A and B are shown apart, each in its own frame.
Chain A
Amino acid sequence: MISIEGLTKVFDENTAVDNLELEIRSGEVFGFLGPNGAGKTTTLRMLSSLIKPTSGTAQVAGYRLGEDDQALRRNVGILTEAPGLYDRLSAERNLAFFAYLYDVNDVDGSVERYLKLLGLWERRSEPVGTFSRGMRQKLAIARSMLHEPPVLFLDEPTTGLDPEASRLVREFIEGLRGQGRTIVLNTHNLDEADRLCDRIAVLNTQLLAIDTPAALRREVFGRKVVFHVSELQPEYEATVAKFPFVDAVEAVDAKLVVTLDDPETQNPALVAALVNAGAKVQFVGEIRKSLEDVYLHLVSNDEEELERGDAT
C-alpha cells in the first residue's frame, strides 16, 4: 500500500529524514517511533504530499509522489499534530466543509455518521471553540476519515489528551483495524504503539529498526526465561549452558536467567535437564522487555554511534 524508496528531506543543512526505505502493507497498523526531531512528522507530510522530498520517492495508495498529488491527497486522510479546526464554526459545518473539499458524495450522511460514531452528534451545532481538547481531537479524526481514504495518517493522535480521551481515541483506532484501511501512526506513546501497531519502525532521521513489537524485543534483547529453583546449586548453571541453543545463563538470587531464541520449544529440554540434575523447578517464566526498553536501547545506541562518528 505504501512503498518508500530512499526518501530524504533536507531543510537548509538539516537532514530531517535520511534515505528512508520501507514497505507498509495494506490493512496494516504501522507505527513510527522516534524522539522529537526524528523526522516522523516530516515523513507523514511527505507521504501525504504536503511537502516535497529532497530526493527519493514513495508510492501511496497506488499514486507516486509528485505525479498526481491531487489524486494522492484524495486517497489519504491525515490527522495533523494540531486538530486545526475552525473555532467559530459548528462541528457539523467544520466536517461538511472538508467533506465538500474531498468531493464526498453524501456529505450530510457522512457527517452525521462520523459525528454519531464519535459521540459528537448531540453537540453538532455548537461552535468548535467551546469543545474540550478530546472532543476536538475526535472531530479532527472524523475529518480525516470523511472521504473514506484507504490510507490514514495519524500524527500523535493522543498527545495532550487526558487518560479518558486517550483511551477513547485508542479504542476508535483499534476499531478501525480489520476494515482494510492502512493506518500509519506517529507516536511517542510506546504503550500505545505496542498495543495498536502490527509493525513498528524506530526512526531517528534514519531507519533504526523495523518489525513487529514482539520481534523487536527479541532482536534487541533476545528472549529471557527465568527458572525458579529451590536450593540453587552451581552445577545447574553448567547443566543449562551445555545446550547449544542457549545464548547465555546467569544465576541471579535463587533463579537461573537463560537467554534463548525459542522458549516454547526449548524450555521443555531445559526443565528435563534441570530435573535430571536434581533441581526442584518451582516455576518458569519469561522476562518481557517493554517496547520502551527496546526504543531507548535503539535510540541511545544510535546517538552514541553518532557521537563516536563526530569524535572521529
Chain B
Amino acid sequence: MNRFYQIVRKEWAEVFKNRFVLGTVAFLPLMAALLPLGILYFVSSSPDITNDLEEIPSSFMALCNDLTGTECMQYFLISQFILLFMIIPLAIPITIASYSIIGEKTTRTLEPLLATPITTAELLGGKSAAAVIPGVVATWLAYMVLVIGTALMGVGSGVMDSLLDPFWLMAVFVVGPLLALTGVSVAVMVSSRVTDPRSAEQISMLVFLPVLLIFVAQMAGLILLNTQLVLVMAVVLVILDAVLLTAAVRLFQRETILTRWK
C-alpha cells in the first residue's frame, strides 16, 4: 500500500508541474460547468423559448410532465450537458495516463523504478489511481458548481430536481469514475505497447467512441438515459474494468519495455 501511495504522490508531484496536463484538468470541468450555466441564463432571459420546444425529441418531452415550456427546455439542455460529466472523467485520466508509462521510458526512469521491489500491480495501480482521481474530483467539483450555479440562477424547482435526480447522480458519481477507470486501463495498456505519448493518447482516445455514440443518440432522441440504462452501464463497466485492469497488469512486460524500446 505504501508503494502504491508513493507512486500516486510522485505522479501528482510530476504531472501537476506539466502545464498542458494541468490545463486539461482545470479547463475541461470548468467549461462543462460554465457552458450550461451560460446557456441556462440565456434560456431564462429569452421570452420566446417555448417556440423551440418542437426541437426537443418526443421521448424526452414525455419526461417534462408538470414542467413549464421554459423549464422543459432548460431540463433538456441540462440533460445534454450532464452527459459531458461522464465524458470528462474519461478525457483527463487518459491524458495523464498516456504520459505516465511512456514518460518514464523517455526520461529513462523506468529501469531504476523497475529495479525496486515494486510489483507490476502496485506500479500500474498507483499510476491508474493518480490519473483517475484528479479527473473524477475535478468533474465532481464542476458538477457541484453547476448545481449551485443553477440554484442561484433561480430556475424552476423541476429543473433543480432533475439535476439532483438519483439516476443523474449515479451517472456522474458512479458511471463517470468507472468510465475513467476504463480509459486509464486502456491508456496504460496502450502506453506500455507504443513508444510516444502522442500515439498513446490518440489510440486511447478511441475509448471515447462508445460514449460519444451515447451522447449523440441521446441528443437525437434515439435513446433516453434512464435509471435502468445507467445501472446496466455501471454493471457492464465494473466487469469491463476488472477485465481491463487484469489485462493491463498481464500485458505489462517489464523485459520487453526495457530491452525493445529505444
Contact = CB atoms under 8 A, between A and B. Distances in A.
Interface of A: 11, 45, 48, 50-52, 70-71, 73-74, 76, 78, 80, 82-89, 93, 97-98, 100-103, 140, 143-144
A87 B6 contact: no
Contacts of B10: 86, 89, 93, 97
A72 B62 CA distance: 66
A50 B118 contact: no
Contacts of A50: 111, 114-115, 254-255, 258
A101 B255 contact: no
Nearest to A90: B13
Given A74-B117, A100-B2, A86 B107 contact: yes
B119 interface: yes
A70 B113 CA distance: 13
Contact of B108 (A74, A76, A78, A84): A84
Contacts of A80: 108, 111-112, 115
Most chain A beta carbons < 10 A, residue from B107, B110, B255:
B107
Interface in B77-123: 107-119
Nearest to A70: B117
Nearest to A76: B115
Contacts of B108: 80, 82-84
B17 interface: yes
Given A11-B259, A88-B17, A97-B6, A102 B107 contact: no
A101 B6 contact: yes
B14 interface: yes
14 contacts: A71-B117, A78-B115, A80-B112, A86-B109, A87-B107, A93-B13, A97-B10, A100-B3, A100-B6, A101-B116, A102-B117, A103-B117, A140-B112, A144-B112
B6 A85 contact: no
Interface residues of B, number: 26
Nearest to A49: B115
Nearest to B18: A88
Nearest to B16: A88
Given A50-B254, A100-B3, A89 B115 contact: no
Given A50-B111, A84-B107, A87-B107, A101 B17 contact: no
B261 to A, nearest CB: 13
Contacts of B107: 84, 86-87
Contacts of B119: 70
Contacts of A84: 107-113
Contacts of B116: 73, 98, 101-102
Interface in B216-262: 254-255, 258-259
Contacts of A103: 2, 117
Q: Which of A45, A52, A101, A144 has the most CB of B within 10 A?
A: A101
Nearest to A144: B112
B3 A101 contact: yes
A49 B243 CA distance: 28
B255 A51 contact: yes
Contacts of B18: 88
Interface string B1-35: 01100100110011001100000000000000000
Given A51-B258, A78-B112, A89 B13 contact: yes
Interface in B42-87: none
A137 to B, nearest CB: 13
Contacts of A88: 13-14, 17-18
A62 to B, nearest CB: 15
B112 A143 contact: yes
A40 to B, nearest CB: 14
A121 to B, nearest CB: 20
Nearest to A88: B17
Contacts of A144: 112
B111 A101 contact: no
Contacts of B117: 70-71, 73-74, 101-103
A50 B114 CA distance: 7
Nearest to A127: B17
Given A86-B14, A89-B14, A52 B115 contact: no
Contacts of A73: 115-117
Contact of A98 (B17, B111, B112): B112
Contacts of A87: 107
A101 B14 contact: no
Contacts of B111: 50, 80, 82, 84
